[in-house]
């Protein structure tokens, strides 16, 4: 078991106090992180007391502590899951070799790039969400937003720890750059596209946490298989926090759907009641799920093949022994691709299809979430459903990029796509309507009219508890 040092300037279980150089480097990054938080983190709520969960260790059960804290005083710490003794690389070309505790020289650039890409998404999401505090539908939701934000901040710390510890001067430079890029900035954008899209409303936020944080789960899970042990242990612990982010999304969209379904059941028009028609919810689901499909990269990818071969990035749950061939050699993957206006089947080596496999696992997970929402609609007696769009729909990366597919995955003429896209994706009018509903509700026990209250609160408290004490 690792020793947790909670009294240090940077709480950690990595023995920082025994590595003075590293400690000094991280302690000099810390004020820059705080400047970044003040400049681009949540606006205006930094003096309020928020009831937040803070990671304090990695043991099962007791890993988190709840209390009121002002966000800039949050104790962002560095925690790695405990090491597994004699851990072996369990996939790719290095199958069976001892896992690495240092960066293998020939993998240095690739590994740094994966870590930087992962790290870049964390602050990006905080930047995207910075204005949402002004329009929260309830105090409960306001707290959830800030919980997600501070933990994404901790995820940035997790990647910066790796950069500082294992990548020398270039790692320190990358850690600085992580604080300099800005979501949506024309000159210094964030690396991946979904992290440059504005999150304007709470409908966007709940869809983002459902679909985009869930990409986080799958990417982190594949990195948790890594032969580079510090990366595996860091990402494994990040997954613990990730569950709450996805739950915030799934429950948030679910509560919007529940409210709409309840009104429909009463024979009311959701729009006339200041709620969200199912068609609009569907369009937001289409927009954020397809944007998140792009985060898996191309379906046919030599980068992915090389990361797998090198033992850096495994398949989902690779370590559970569910794949017959841990080297993924001598097997192929069938991919339907558009060519000259119709679909043709191609066969690619399995290793090149690693992104496609991860996307498949992700899409199956998303389908389970959508099914749950639909079960609720059915229980309410509403004869309508939400559907998850095909992984071909509205893509900008990979073999379906910039091709006119319907949400059900049918290739159509470009003119038809242009004509029909407002049926499938939020139009300006839809966005305006949704934005018009976003009014803050900060009275205890009250909630906005377009969303149902949650079934339960946080840490065994009721949902209408005082999760935020305004200064």
| Least distance from ligand BYC to the Cβ atom of residue 243, Å | 13
Question: Footprint of ligand BYC on residues 54-93 (CB under 6 A)?
Answer: none
Instruction: Indicate the residue among 250 and 294 with the shorter CB distance to ligand BYC.
Output: 294
Q: Do the Cβ atoms of 390 and 243 come closer than 8 Å? A: no
Contacts of 293 by beta carbon, 8 Å cutoff, 6+ apart: 359, 362, 363, 391, 395, 397
Please, which residues bridge with residue 324 across strands? none
197, two tokens:
């899209």
| 216 contributes a contact to ligand BYC by CB under 6 A | yes
Instruction: Indicate the residue among 244 and 450 with the shorter CB distance to ligand BYC.
Output: 244
d(CA 107, CA 226) in angstroms, rounded, equals 12
Considering only 7-15, 34-42, 292-300, 330-338, which stretch makes contact with ligand BYC by CB under 6 A? 292-300
| Least distance from ligand BYC to the Cβ atom of residue 312, Å | 9
Considering only 17-25, 299-307, 332-340, 432-440, which stretch makes contact with ligand BYC by CB under 6 A? 299-307
Instruction: Indicate the residue among 139 and 359 with the shorter CB distance to ligand BYC.
Output: 359
d(CA 60, CA 57) in angstroms, rounded, equals 9
Instruction: Indicate the residue among 152 and 299 with the shorter CB distance to Fe ion.
Output: 152
The one among 11, 227, 252, 297 contacting ligand BYC by CB under 6 A:
297
Instruction: Indicate the residue among 245 and 259 with the shorter CB distance to Fe ion.
Output: 245
Instruction: Indicate the residue among 152 and 300 with the shorter CB distance to Fe ion.
Output: 152
Instruction: Indicate the residue among 57 and 291 with the shorter CB distance to ligand BYC.
Output: 291
Residue 86 phi, psi (nearest 5): 55, 40
Q: Residue 230 binds which entry of ligand BYC, Fe ion, none, with Cβ cut-offs from 5 to 8 Å by kind?
A: none
357, two tokens:
């496999």
| 234 contributes a contact to ligand BYC by CB under 6 A | no
Q: Nearest to residue 335, comparing CAs of 344, 324, 323? A: 344
Question: Footprint of ligand BYC on residues 393-422 (CB under 6 A)?
Answer: 397
Q: Which residues sit at the interface with Fe ion, rule CB under 5 A? A: 122, 152, 155, 213, 216, 245
| 296 contributes a contact to ligand BYC by CB under 6 A | yes
Q: Residue 156 binds which entry of Fe ion, ligand BYC, none, with Cβ cut-offs from 5 to 8 Å by kind?
A: none
Instruction: Indicate the residue among 49 and 219 with the shorter CB distance to ligand BYC.
Output: 219
d(CA 345, CA 455) in angstroms, rounded, equals 46
Q: What share of the chain is helix, strand, coil (3-state, %, to 5)?
A: 50, 10, 40
136, two tokens:
């929260």
Contacts of 78 by beta carbon, 8 Å cutoff, 6+ apart: 10, 11, 12, 13, 14, 16, 26, 157, 158, 161
| 294 contributes a contact to ligand BYC by CB under 6 A | yes
Q: Nearest to residue 395, comparing CAs of 302, 318, 287, 315? A: 287
Q: Residue 294 binds which entry of Fe ion, ligand BYC, none, with Cβ cut-offs from 5 to 8 Å by kind?
A: ligand BYC
Residue nearest to ligand BYC (CB): 297
Q: Residue 296 binds which entry of Fe ion, ligand BYC, none, with Cβ cut-offs from 5 to 8 Å by kind?
A: ligand BYC
CA 297 and chain centroid, separation: 15
| 303 contributes a contact to ligand BYC by CB under 6 A | yes
Alpha carbon separation from 387 to 224, 255, 291, 367, 407 (Å, rounded): 30, 17, 16, 8, 9
| 122 contributes a contact to ligand BYC by CB under 6 A | yes
Binding mask 180-199 for ligand BYC (x = CB under 6 A): ------------xx------
d(CA 408, CA 389) in angstroms, rounded, equals 6
Instruction: Indicate the residue among 115 and 264 with the shorter CB distance to ligand BYC.
Output: 115
d(CA 384, CA 371) in angstroms, rounded, equals 12
The one among 5, 48, 127, 152 contacting ligand BYC by CB under 6 A:
152
Q: Nearest to residue 354, comparing CAs of 234, 222, 239? A: 222
> Contact positions toward ligand BYC, by CB under 6 A?
114, 117-118, 121-122, 125, 152, 192-193, 212-213, 215-216, 219, 294-298, 301, 303-304, 313, 355, 397
């Amino acid at each position: 078991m690792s020793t947790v040092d909670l009294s240090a300037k940077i709480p950690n279980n990595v023995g920082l106090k025994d590595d003075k150089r590293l400690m000094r480097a991280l302690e000099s990054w810390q004020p820059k992180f705080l400047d970044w938080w003040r400049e681009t983190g949540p606006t205006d709520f930094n003096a309020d007391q928020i009831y937040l969960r803070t990671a304090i260790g990695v043991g099962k059960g007791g890993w988190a502590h709840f209390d009121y804290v002002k966000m800039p005083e949050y104790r962002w710490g560095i925690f790695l899951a405990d090491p597994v003794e004699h851990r072996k690389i369990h996939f790719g070309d290095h199958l069976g070799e001892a896992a690495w505790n240092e960066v293998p020289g020939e993998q240095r650039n690739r590994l740094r790039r994966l870590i930087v890409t992962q790290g870049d998404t964390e602050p990006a999401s905080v930047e995207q969400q910075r204005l949402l505090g002004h329009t929260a539908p309830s105090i409960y939701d306001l707290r959830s937003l800030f919980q997600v934000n501070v933990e994404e901040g901790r995820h940035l710390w997790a990647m910066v720890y790796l950069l500082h510890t294992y990548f020398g001067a270039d790692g320190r430079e990358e850690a600085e750059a992580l604080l300099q890029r800005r979501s949506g900035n024309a000159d210094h954008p964030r690396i991946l596209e979904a992290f440059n899209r504005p999150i304007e409303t709470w409908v966007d936020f709940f869809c983002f946490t459902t679909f985009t944080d869930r990409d986080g789960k799958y990417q982190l899970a594949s990195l948790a298989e890594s032969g580079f042990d510090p990366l595996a242990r860091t990402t494994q612990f990040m997954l613990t926090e990730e569950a709450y982010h996805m739950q915030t999304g799934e429950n948030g969209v679910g509560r919007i759907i529940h409210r709409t379904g309840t009104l429909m059941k009463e024979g009311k028009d959701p729009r006339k009641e200041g709620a969200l028609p199912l068609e609009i919810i569907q369009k937001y689901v289409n927009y954020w799920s397809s944007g998140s499909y792009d985060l898996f990269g191309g379906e046919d990818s030599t980068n992915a093949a090389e990361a797998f071969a090198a033992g850096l990035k495994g398949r989902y749950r690779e370590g559970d022994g569910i794949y017959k061939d841990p080297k993924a050699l001598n097997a192929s993957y069938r991919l339907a691709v558009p060519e000259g206006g119709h679909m043709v089947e191609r066969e690619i080596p399995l290793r090149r299809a690693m992104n496609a496999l991860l996307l498949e696992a992700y899409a199956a997970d998303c389908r389970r979430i959508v099914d749950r929402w639909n079960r609720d609609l059915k229980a309410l007696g509403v004869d309508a459903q939400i559907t998850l769009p095909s992984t071909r729909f509205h893509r900008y990366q990979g073999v379906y990029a910039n091709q006119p597919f319907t949400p059900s995955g049918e290739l159509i003429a470009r003119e038809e796509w242009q004509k029909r896209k407002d049926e499938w994706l939020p139009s300006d009018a839809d966005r305006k309507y949704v934005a018009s509903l976003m009014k803050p509700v900060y009275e205890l026990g009250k909630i906005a009219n377009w969303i149902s209250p949650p079934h339960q609160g946080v840490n065994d408290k009721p949902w209408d508890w005082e999760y935020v004490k305004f200064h």
